[in-house]
Chains A and B, each alone.
Chain A
Amino acid sequence: MAEAPFKPRDLGAHPPPFYPDYRSTHFRAPSHALLHYAPTATEMAGPVFGQGMLGADDDDLIVNYAAAGQAALGPRILVHGVLRDQDARPMPGKLIEVWQANAGGRYRHKKDGYLAPLDPNFGGCGRCVTGPDGTYSFRTIQPGPYPWPNGGNDWRPAHIHFSVFGDGFAQRLITQMYFEGDPHIALCPIVQSIPDPKGIDTLVARLDMGQTVPMDIRAYRFDITLRGRDATYFENFKDGT
């Protein structure tokens, strides 16, 4: 028996396609409203990944691009949290991919020409798979804020990009994690395009002294919530429709 279909997505909880203060939306936002349909067998299913695909240092950005015996520059942090659905069910075995700028705010990308130098020992990507209890963690360095072309004096808050898979493709999500106390959060149109301040707050990772390792690495906690299931579902879901 198939599991209950996903709840409808609350589009009002996400950035609108067109947001005037975020210039890149101007020619990339569809003009038509999204057309709704209930998830079919296609959207209820999705790719399955496992721990077996991971290399030893995939979840350690401090060393996964570094020369032997070297390490990336910057404040050492452990980012961790739980992946669950809207019904608070932990989601085990799910792939989380991350990417970010280095400690100076520079990406290892041919189109990033920011003044801050590349760190030869930092690539800026990593990945992990959630454990049986839905938890995940990776080690990295705290990225720096950086300026970006948006028509004014725009600086991104320090952030880490997250790509997350669920059980079904309808749960697919890409988002960004920010850091508690960063004054750029309130100034950034990409962040502020999220309509609900409470929604923004869920993207702000908290310093977690409980998981901080003395004399080693500080911890930040960031929990992620994917779409839940429709509680009114009985057994009327038909395959293929």
Chain B
Amino acid sequence: MKETPSQTAGPYVHIGCVPRFAGLRGMYDGQDLGAEMITGEVAGTRISFIGAVYDGEGAPVTDAMVEIWQAAPDGTFSPEGFTSWGRQPADAQGAFRFETLKPGAMGAQAPHILVWIVARGIGLGLTTRAYFADEDNSSDPVYQRAGSRAQTLVARAVEGGYHLDIHLQGPKETVFFDV
């Protein structure tokens, strides 16, 4: 049996996935799924993970939806009080913001956040990773896989968190993975 083929999420993915943001009054009790990642008391460092999505001409991708999936500070997924999963729309500037916890390392893997981007013009959701500028990423196998382009995966420290811009195309093109 073959996997069902992907199709673009189109320009209106916000209606389906973040209806509150899209202005659909009252849907799902006014709560966009994935908006809250920290749901209880979990030890660790709270961070804002922010950035923006740009196309090959440098224009913001305002119709994108971004999902992240990451370990908790203790290196496990979805422990009590932390969902590990977040979903945010890109806004009118192409920007996204997640309020989350800094992930812990897992075995040989350095702390990282899986980032998944869908939008009009993207036929198969794009998977990338965010690593952290203040961690030693050099022995992480996926980071190594990115080779000379690995710097496109590194989020820089900013006030209160980390910043990573995602470039779909062009000289600053982000590394995207088939995983």
Q: Nearest residue in A to B142 (C-beta to C-beta)?
A: A37
Judge if B48 is at the interface, Cβ distance under 8 Å.
no
Chain B interface size, as a band, is 35 or more
Partner of A30, one of B17, B69, B120, B176: B176
Judge if B81 is at the interface, Cβ distance under 8 Å.
no
**Which one, B18-26, B38-46, B157-165, is touching chain A?**
B18-26
Partner of A174, one of B7, B12, B84: B7
Tell whether, in the assembled complex, residue A35 and residue B145 are in contact, meaning their CB atoms are under 8 Å apart. yes
Rounded to whole angstroms, the CA-CA distance of A48 and B71 in the bound complex is 14
Give the residues from 173 to 225 in chain A that come closer than 8 angstroms, CB to CB, to chain B.
173-176, 190-191, 193-194, 196, 198-200, 202-203, 224-225
Judge if A43 is at the interface, Cβ distance under 8 Å.
yes
Tell whether, in the assembled complex, residue A39 and residue B116 are in contact, meaning their CB atoms are under 8 Å apart. no
Judge if A45 is at the interface, Cβ distance under 8 Å.
yes
**A173-B8 CB under 8 A given contacts A161-B16, A163-B17:** no
Q: How many A-B residue pairs have CB under 8 A?
A: 247
Q: Nearest residue in B to A46 (C-beta to C-beta)?
A: B69
Tell whether, in the assembled complex, residue B141 and residue A241 are in contact, meaning their CB atoms are under 8 Å apart. yes
Q: Which residues of A contact B6 (CB under 8 A)?
A: 14-15, 173-175
Interface string of A1-43 (1 = CB under 8 A from B): 0000000111101111101001111111111101111111111
Judge if B35 is at the interface, Cβ distance under 8 Å.
no
Partner of B126, one of A27, A30, A241: A30
**A169-B7 CB under 8 A given contacts A24-B121, A48-B78, A65-B27:** no
Rounded to whole angstroms, the CA-CA distance of A15 and B4 in the bound complex is 11
Chain A interface main SS type: loop
Chain A interface size, as a band, is 35 or more
A82 CB to nearest B CB, Å:
12
Q: Nearest residue in A to B11 (C-beta to C-beta)?
A: A111
Rounded to whole angstroms, the CA-CA distance of A97 and B107 in the bound complex is 34
Tell whether, in the assembled complex, residue A39 and residue B106 are in contact, meaning their CB atoms are under 8 Å apart. no
Tell whether, in the assembled complex, residue B169 and residue A31 are in contact, meaning their CB atoms are under 8 Å apart. yes
Give the residues from 94 to 108 in chain B that come closer than 8 angstroms, CB to CB, to chain A.
106-108
Rounded to whole angstroms, the CA-CA distance of A7 and B118 in the bound complex is 22
Tell whether, in the assembled complex, residue A58 and residue B28 are in contact, meaning their CB atoms are under 8 Å apart. yes
Q: Which residues of B contact A107 (CB under 8 A)?
A: 12, 15
Q: A97-B17, A111-B63 are in contact. List 15 more A-B contacts (CB 8 A).
A: A14-B6, A22-B121, A30-B176, A32-B173, A45-B69, A45-B78, A53-B33, A88-B1, A161-B9, A161-B12, A172-B125, A173-B3, A173-B125, A190-B123, A240-B75
- Pairs A–B under 8 Å by Cβ, sample size 12: A8-B178, A10-B2, A22-B8, A27-B59, A28-B119, A30-B173, A40-B179, A125-B16, A174-B8, A190-B123, A199-B2, A241-B108
| Interface, chain B (partner A; CB < 8 A) | 1-17, 19, 22-24, 26-29, 33, 55-57, 59, 61, 63, 67, 69-71, 75, 77-78, 83-85, 106-109, 112, 114, 116, 118-126, 141-142, 145-146, 149, 168-170, 173-179
Which 8 A/B pairs are nearest by Cβ-Cβ distance? A240-B107, A99-B16, A15-B123, A24-B121, A28-B121, A47-B85, A34-B178, A27-B56
